[in-house]
Structure 1
Amino acid sequence: MNRPRVLVTGASGFIGGAVLPLLRSTGAHVRVLAHHRSVTPGPYVEIVDGDLTDPTTLRGIGRDVDAVLHLASYIGKDEDRCAAVNVEGTRRLVEEAGRAGVAAFVQLSTAAVYGDGPFRELREGDAEPRPVSPTSRSRLRGERFVLGAGGAVLRPYLVYGTGDRWVMPGLLRVVRALRSGLPGRGGALLSLTEVGSLAASLAHMVVGTPPRRATGVFHACPSRPVSLRELVVAAHLHLGFPLVGGEQSFEGARAELVRAGCDGHLLDLFGVDHWFDATRLAELGGRVPDTGLSAGLAAHAAWYRAQLL
């Protein structure tokens, strides 16, 4: 059997932890670049200790590999760390893949590189990215090495599911703070992607025979957005989050968040349209992550309840 050979970074992270079992199930030979957090070995899984910030540990990492799935990133406010991991680390990995003649390179990025919005049914190339955080700025810079080498970049917006430390915890802070109601009747339209369906999309990009040769930027989002109101109701039903009634102005909601000690930027994430069109991924023949919100939250409800409530 001619098994596809895939190098994966970030396999122990939130999304990588969902991707690795899928790659294993396809029979692929997976080479995992492991740093700090351990990955459980298994059949056809090769663990290689390495660090994206240390070029000596990356030499030869792409040898005998058909595809690279680059999921690792640093998320935080440390500008130097962002540059070291998300920019220079990506550059080094792309260079190693190029030297080894790797056929396909797929990077997981984020639609947060576009900035605060509003974005409604935005297609790739329709807006100039204007990232506002150190993480997003550095991830955009890292993307350019991948795109320059003819690779593919997938950009989901908000990703939720088992292991999520950002999206639903952020929403919980919002609904606990907004006692006077949601801004604009909760009508902001959001692209939310369930981690399992995103993992399936990523795995599908690299396990073809030969690996799928995708190039350019792809939005990795469901075809249908959900409104903030729908999200709040679904989180109430499945996760036990507080249910927010009424409405208020955007400015009033931001002030209420700040008074409650929350980061006002949370309102830019949840209270402004961030709806990204995924037609290009579908036209490629890729697997568009399309798990419905209710089914997605129900699948991860036990984990969220244990972690958040």
Structure 2
Amino acid sequence: MKVENGVVLVTGAAGFVGSAVVERLVRQGVQVRALVHRVGVAPGVEAVPGDLARPVSLRGLCEGVTSVLHLGARVGGTLQECRAVNVEGTRALLVEAERAGVRRIVQLGTAAVYGDGVHRGVVEGELAEVPGSVTSVTRLAGERLVLAAGGTVLRPHLVYGRGDRWVVPALVELLARLPYWVDGGRARTSLTSVEALAGALAELAVGHRVVGGVLHAGHPEPVCARELVETVTRELGLPLPAGDIDLPGALALLGGAGEPDAVTRRRVGLLAVDHWYDSGRLWGQLEASPGPRFTEGFARCADWYRATAVT
């Protein structure tokens, strides 16, 4: 990959995806500037203190920058808290980028903006955007600001790998509460490793080719729930589900005397509802690789999950 010279600004640089992207850029010899809020960044990275929730702290942040990787987001909290970071923080960042003459802006979005329906092999622009949480509502609003500014938005569905504190831990917790196959484990879902996602983001920031608009970011081959569960339980030494249950039965079991909460419903959806997205546009235009299928990809990072006591 031909690398363009210049400074890359990264927000969310200390996060799960952000730290993998920064590591990739530094390894490629790219000069990285990181917006730092609470947590430090790796050696060799220029750290600039600031907070997306405080626009005044972003003043001058983009001076000398050639590309912006906007990976920071507020996940969870009130509408006001999410809006302060995901919308107004993004707006302030774009103002600074425009003031400094930055022409390449790439944001990490989320496929959660499509809501909880059945999604099978959909391409960009095919689905209505119907976010179901304050996080997704405000992230979508921020995405639209980036797109209006001529930027690029990557929308992964589920991301796994070293540093994952949500996808696999949530699956393990769910299996402990619901030790059954849901509808035979036939549902398919889009996953991507954090290494593959970091490679795509890094190339979009410094590669020769500029790709705009919304891009789905998953492995080209969706993973069925049975393969997902069999792989995770085998690598982490957990028992396989026994027996089968349908989706209404699973929700009733988890809800007890009432209805399961929205988080639980979404987690069960991981095992029972198709959520997979065509990512051909992304990988067809990049040199970056989507990496191996999930079974092999997870085996490469299973030691990290075991060491962090996910089980």
Q: What TM bracket, shorter-length normalisation?
A: over 0.9
Tell me which residue corresponds to 2:227.
Answer: 230
State the percentage of identical aligned residues.
48
> By how many angstroms is 1:258 displaced?
2.5
Question: Paired residue for 2:245, among 236, 243, 248?
Answer: 248
Could you list the per-position Cα deviations for residues 111-170 of structure 1 after superposition, in whole angstroms to 9, with x for gaps in the alignment? 111010210001000011111111111110100110000000000001111111111111
Q: Distance in 2 between matches of 1:31 and 1:264?
A: 39
Contact kept, 8 Å, 1:9 with 1:33, in 2: the verdict is yes
Query: Within 5 A, what are the aligned runs for 1:133-152?
Result: 133-152=133-152
User: Does 2:23 match 1:25?
Assistant: no
SS of 1:15's equivalent in the other structure is helix
Q: TM-score, normalized by length of structure 2?
A: 0.93
> By how many angstroms is 1:2 displaced?
7.4
For the structure 1 residues 2 and 67, does the alpha-carbon distance in structure 2 shift closer, same or farther, using more than 3 Å as the test? closer
One-letter code of the match for 2:119? F
User: Does 2:280 match 1:276?
Assistant: no
How many residues matched?
Answer: 304
Query: Within 5 A, what are the aligned runs for 1:3-152?
Result: 3-42=5-44, 45-152=45-152
> By how many angstroms is 1:26 displaced?
1.2
> By how many angstroms is 1:3 displaced?
3.2
Q: Distance in 1 between matches of 2:76 and 2:98?
A: 29
Tell me which residue corresponds to 1:207.
Answer: 206
Query: Mind listing any 5+ residue stretches in structure 1 that lack a counterpart?
Result: none
Tell me which residue corresponds to 1:258.
Answer: 255
Q: TM-score, normalized by length of structure 1?
A: 0.93
Cα-Cα RMSD: 1.8
One-letter code of the match for 1:185? G
Q: Distance in 2 between matches of 1:240 and 1:103?
A: 48
> By how many angstroms is 1:176 displaced?
1.3
Could you list the per-position Cα deviations for residues 243-286 of structure 1 after superposition, in whole angstroms to 9, with x for gaps in the alignment? 11322111001122233988233112332100100011123336
For the structure 1 residues 61 and 33, does the alpha-carbon distance in structure 2 shift closer, same or farther, using more than 3 Å as the test? same
> By how many angstroms is 1:290 displaced?
3.3
> By how many angstroms is 1:288 displaced?
5.0
Q: Distance in 2 between matches of 1:256 and 1:235?
A: 23
Q: Distance in 2 between matches of 1:2 and 1:155?
A: 24
Moved more, 95-104 or 152-161: 95-104
Q: Distance in 1 between matches of 2:238 and 2:200?
A: 29
Q: Distance in 1 between matches of 2:53 and 2:185?
A: 42
Contact kept, 8 Å, 1:41 with 1:47, in 2: the verdict is no
Could you list the per-position Cα deviations for residues 59-97 of structure 1 after superposition, in whole angstroms to 9, with x for gaps in the alignment? 111111110001111111322111011111111111111
